[in-house]
Amino acid sequence: MRAVLLNAPGEVQVVDREPPRIVEATDAVIRVAAACVCGSDLWPYRGVDFIEPRFMGHEYVGVVEEIGADVQSVKPGDFVVGSFIYSCGECEFCLAGYTSKCVHGNFITAVGGTQAQFVRVPHADGTLVATPGTPEPDLVPSLLAASDVLGTGWYAAVAAEVGPGKTVAVVGDGAVGLMGVLAAQQLGAERIIVMSRYADRQHLAREFGATDIVEERGRDGVARVRELTGGFGAHSVIEAVGTKESMMQAIKSTRPGGHIGFVGVAHDGDDIPVKHLFASQVHLHGGPAPVRRFLPDLIDRIMKREIDPGKVFDLTLPLEEAAEAYAAMHERRAIKALLTT
């Protein structure tokens, strides 16, 4: 089969690789219908945390090709959406909704990238959700979004305790931030402020429900959010970048007693002063999104056409042109690229 390999920073290749097969009785093998490039894929692409060549991709939808003897919830032929972290669905943490910390779980990349024609999914029963029937083709991008970027934005909004009557600020106008806007709108936020300097992203943010755009950054950005919130700061803030600066921006934009949902992937050196956290008196919660918790609800909203998160894909290319998909996102020519197989 064909699969995307990041051979070195900036060097994306599509290569031949042995297709995966069932290893454990709880596995499923999926024929990938669509995969995509994640903002977090750009970190190793840019040389951050790049250690050795690796197969890429962790977002996926597709059709079940084969299942292990113990798999019960999906069968060959089912169209399925999976989380970027596989999870058993039965452990202490899965039962508490933290499927991303499943004691038997791991990132799907640990068993193979999903920017490929096939992928093996461990713990299929705890990881995959079948759609009711085969979805119309135009719904595939939205279902693919649910696999990570929508699920992550949704988790950020839930972690930030978004709800009716609240003002939400979103730090980061990448795909996850934009999905955070959509989630905030769906969860009933009264006002949604997005920090963005790019016209195309501002446009999409408004389509997803943003009511205010703040173009300023840093101290000026914080001042503007405070100005828009009566001097108090937002009730809920979604942090979707993952740097010390964006985290401090989020903390300073939140009112005392307010909530930050942070989902930007932090790196070494991004330390925040406890002193500021202490004084800010905000609530902080985040981490890798337990997407599986939200999948049934998200799939339902998508199948009923209540939400259209697939709009976040502004570039669609065949798998063979993955290198261009990475380059376009790296150069900000695309917000998020979908790969067809």
Binding positions for its own copies, rule: CB under 8 A:
92-93, 96-98, 100-101, 230, 232, 242, 244, 247, 255-257, 262, 265-268, 270-275, 277-288
How far is it, in rounded angstroms, from Cα 323 to Cα 299? 30
> Which lies closer to its own copies via its Cβ, residue 92 or residue 220?
92
> Which lies closer to its own copies via its Cβ, residue 206 or residue 283?
283
> Which lies closer to its own copies via its Cβ, residue 198 or residue 232?
232
> Which lies closer to its own copies via its Cβ, residue 276 or residue 333?
276
How far is it, in rounded angstroms, from Cα 56 to Cα 78? 24
Count the Cβ atoms, other than its own, within 10 Å of residue 240.
30
> Which lies closer to its own copies via its Cβ, residue 177 or residue 242?
242
For the CB of residue 292, give the shortest distance to its own copies in the complex, in Å. 14
- Token representation of residue 152: 């992550």
Task: List C-alpha distances in Å: 312 to 65, 70, 142, 170, 178.
Answer: 28, 36, 9, 16, 8
How far is it, in rounded angstroms, from Cα 118 to Cα 97? 28
Task: List C-alpha distances in Å: 82 to 29, 74, 131, 145.
Answer: 12, 11, 11, 10
For the CB of residue 28, give the shortest distance to its own copies in the complex, in Å. 25
For the CB of residue 136, give the shortest distance to its own copies in the complex, in Å. 35
**Is residue 295 classed as helix, strand or coil in its secondary structure?**
helix
For the CB of residue 265, give the shortest distance to its own copies in the complex, in Å. 7
For the CB of residue 267, give the shortest distance to its own copies in the complex, in Å. 6
